[in-house]
Amino acid sequence: MTIEDIMLQCESLIFGSNRPLNAMDIEQILKETTTEEDGIDQEQVNSALEAIVEKYASDFYPFEVKQIGGGYQFLSKKAFYPTLSKLNGEKFTKRLSTASLETLAIIAYRQPITKGDIEHIRGVSSDYSVQKLLEKELIVISGRMEDMVGKPLTYSTSKSFMDYLGLNTLDELPKLNEILQQDIVIPTDASEALPENNIEVVEPEVEIENSNIISLAVSKTGELISLDNQEDTENEDEKN
């Protein structure tokens, strides 16, 4: 079987599947539907998938083949979203609430996690948010925390969550240190930034007359007084 034939077989499987198909799934199906003489192996399938991705990346097609949710899928390109949103109505325009997004983010980064731990992090009840995320199939009940009292249920993200965010694996989630990292601007020392010969120190030329200088002090009663006026007063008292 030629690489062109394998490409066509792979395209038909990806197009007809209701879930993402990975290379191993495709290879297994092709081996079951072809003879040993065709000699299909993993390397040929990988090469065919790479060629398919490159083929539909062309501007000629309004859709593309992307590796998402653990496998390959046909997806419409972003440029055609406004048109498709009119066709599908509000189905794809509804957004998650802030509370649901907070809950989903906590589950994504701390999974598997119990509802009690979610509420401890958020500081409020998360019953409604968890229920909504379950209804939207963005999270699943992944088990129980056996070593905790009452063995509470644990929650994890689902394959629909991967599709929702366009992720292939959870490793593609942004790292927390990348999100929290901020650029720190350190001021530059001008004396270090410029060559020593180019530094010119300019001293301000300010003339101060002694008559304009006023010496101030605080009296025993807490008042601000002029020492000059005090000396003048003392001198007048001595004269008298």
Interatomic CA distance for residues 228 and 85, integer angstroms? 83
Give me the pLDDT at residue 134, please.
92
Interatomic CA distance for residues 157 and 164, integer angstroms? 11
Helix (H, G, I), strand (E, B) or coil at 82: helix
Q: Which residues of 7-29 are buried (b: 16+ CB within 10 A; e: fewer)?
A: bebbbebbeebeebbbbebbbee
Give me the pLDDT at residue 226, please.
59
Residues of the chain by 3-state class (helix, strand, coil), percent to 5: 50, 15, 35
Q: Which residues of 73-103 are buried (b: 16+ CB within 10 A; e: fewer)?
A: bbeeeeeeeeeeeeeeeeeeeeebeeebebb
**Into which CATH architecture does domain 98-180 fall?**
Orthogonal Bundle (1.10)
What tokens appear for 199 in the block?
């530094």
**CATH class of the 3-86 domain in this structure:** mainly alpha
Using alpha carbons, select from 155, 148, 171 the residue that is nearest to residue 110.
Answer: 155
| Paired sense of beta strands 139-144 and 224-226, if any | unpaired
Query: What tens-digit pLDDT sequence spans the chain (240 residues)?
Result: 788 899 999 999 999 988 888 899 999 998 888 776 667 888 899 999 999 999 999 999 999 998 887 789 998 888 988 888 788 665 555 678 889 999 999 999 999 999 999 999 999 999 999 999 999 889 999 999 888 888 899 999 988 888 777 777 888 788 777 666 554 444 444 444 444 444 444 444 444 444 455 555 556 555 556 555 555 555 555 554
In this prediction the pTM is 0.53
HSE (CB half, 13 Å, CA atoms) of 8?
4
Where do you find CATH 1.10.10.10 in the chain?
3-86, 98-180
Express each pLDDT in 213-229 by its tens digit.
555 555 655 555 655 55
Give me the pLDDT at residue 107, please.
93
